[in-house]
Structure 1
Amino acid sequence: MYKFIIFIHVISAILSIGPFFVLFPVLNRMKGKSGDLLDSHIEVFQAAIRIVKHAGHVLVVSGILLMWQGNWAWSTSWIVMTIVIMVSSIVFLAKAFKPNIRQFNAGVIDSHTLIFKLHRSVWLYIILLLIMLWFMVVKPNIW
């Protein structure tokens, strides 16, 4: 059962970061677009965010099961750091994408600003996830 949970954990990790790499071409296609075409690209962007969120749920549950099955203590340094990064990424995910899209839809920001903010947020989120992935794979003993 442990190997199956690891498999599920790895697949959910891939699904929680992979869609963000697909968003770079979408963001490039959004440049200079308006109307329905821009709206369709934003819908693709939002769908990718939904996939990432749901994969994150599976990632957390499978991670907890792996900790339980592997007898890891919650106070282990790499687990604490992974949780800190995970909570940070959840807060970041909630504040980085949907509010910017809402501001665009409300006419507060233009499409150029929206694309810039989304592009920057995608990179920041990828960096957060890669740091979290590093903690999970390397399992450094920090304290």
Structure 2
Amino acid sequence: MYLWLVFIHSISAMVSIGPFFALIPMLKKLRASEGAVYEAYLDSFTFAVRLSKHAGHVLVFSGLLLMWLGDWPWNTPWIFGTFVVLFLSLFFMARAFSPTIRLLRKQEPNRTVLLNKLSRALYLYLTVLFIMLWLMIMKPLFW
């Protein structure tokens, strides 16, 4: 059972990080697109964010099960650090993508500013995800 949970945890980590890499080249195309193509790119962006969010739910649940079955305490440095970063990233993700995508759908006149904001959010969120990934893989001992 434990090994299957590790597998599920690993797959959900890949699914929660992977879609964001498809969005990097899409940002450039989003800047140059119009009409139905523009809407399709925004739909793809929304789908990737939702997929990542739901995979993140599986990731957290499987991680909690792994902690329980593996008898890992909450105060283990890499677990505590991961949960701190995860908690902070939840606030970030809730405000970073969906409100900006909603404004882009309204065809706001400051499209370039909004796309720059979306681009910054994408790279910042990838950085946060990689910090959590580093904590989970390297398991550093901070104390």
TM-score normalised over the length of structure 2:
0.94
One-letter identity of the residue aligned with 2:113:
T
- Structure 2 distance, partners of 1:45, 1:109, is 20
Local SS of the residue matching 1:31: helix
Local SS of the residue matching 1:135: helix
Deviation, structure 1 residue 116: 1.1
- Structure 1 distance, partners of 2:33, 2:135, is 40
In structure 1, the residue matched to 2:61 is 61
CA RMSD of aligned residues (A): 1.2
Deviation, structure 1 residue 117: 1.2
Unaligned runs of 5+ in 2: none
In structure 2, the residue matched to 1:141 is 141
- Alignment check: 8 A CA contact 1:103 1:109 kept: no
CA deviation string 1:55-77 (max 9, x = no partner):
00000000001101111001111
TM-score normalised over the length of structure 1:
0.94
When residues 15 and 109 of structure 1 are mapped into structure 2, their CA distance, relative to the original with a 3 A threshold, is farther
Deviation, structure 1 residue 108: 4.5
Aligned length: 143
Deviation, structure 1 residue 32: 2.2
Q: % of aligned pairs identical?
A: 46
Tell me if 1:119 matches 2:123.
Answer: no
CA deviation string 1:86-119 (max 9, x = no partner):
1111111101001112223345453222221111
